[in-house]
């Protein structure tokens, strides 16, 4: 019973263990307890498993998995999904090296702590 509750959405009540999900529900994210690899659309044959705890915590779908295709092929697929030319991306990244380095972080980036010894 505990496992079923862990794999039931807080938003729409669908039970992912039964591969149930709701289209409008961000916590479901379009799939049940597992889904075909989103990197390659399932071409690699791997299934990604829902991370129920993260899905509940952030109220959006989270998945654990890795694509089995070679890294270069994965990168090409990701660029295609983003409608991005790999050469154009490489050029854009090369442009960032022309910027002068920041000598010190801005004051707002300095970490501060919210505790005091006297409390």
Read off the pLDDT of residues 98-119 as tens digits, 9 standing for 90 and up: 555 544 444 444 443 334 444 4
Check pLDDT > 70 for residue 14. Answer: yes
Read off the pLDDT of each residue in 20-36 and give the average, rounded to a whole number. 90
Q: Does residue 68 register a pLDDT over 70?
A: yes
pLDDT, mean of residues 46-58: 92
Domain assignment present for 72: no
pLDDT value for 34: 92
Give yes or no for residue 19 having a pLDDT over 90: no
* pLDDT at residue number 119: 40
Tell whether the model's pLDDT for residue 12 goes beyond 80. yes
Total structural domains within the chain: 1
Is the Cα torsion angle 91, 72, 51, 53 positive or negative in sign?
Answer: negative
Mean pLDDT throughout 3-23?
82
d(CA 3, CA 50): 13
Domain that holds residue 56: 2-64
Nearest CA-CA partner of 29 in 2, 5, 6, 56: 56
For 27-45, what is the mean pLDDT?
A: 92
Is residue 34 in a domain? yes
pTM value surpassing 0.95: no
**Alpha-carbon separation of residue 55 from 28, 46, 73 (angstroms):** 8, 20, 28
- Residues of the chain with pLDDT > 70, as a percent, come to 66
The more confidently predicted of residues 114 and 96 is 96
In a domain, 26, yes or no: yes
Q: Is 89 among the domain residues?
A: no
In a domain, 77, yes or no: no
In a domain, 86, yes or no: no
Q: Is residue 16 part of a domain?
A: yes
104 located within any domain: no
């Amino acid at each position: 019973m505990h496992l079923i509750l862990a794999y039931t959405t807080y938003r729409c009540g669908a039970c992912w263990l039964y591969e149930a999900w709701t289209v409008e529900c961000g916590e479901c994210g379009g799939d049940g307890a597992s889904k075909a690899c989103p990197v390659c659309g399932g071409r690699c044959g791997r299934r990604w498993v829902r991370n129920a705890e993260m899905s509940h915590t952030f109220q959006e779908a989270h998945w654990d998995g890795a694509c089995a295709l070679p890294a270069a092929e994965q990168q090409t697929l990701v660029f295609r999904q983003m409608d991005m030319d790999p050469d154009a991306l490489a050029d854009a990244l090369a442009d960032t090296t022309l910027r002068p380095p920041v000598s010190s972080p801005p004051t707002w980036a300095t970490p501060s702590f919210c505790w005091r010894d006297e409390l």
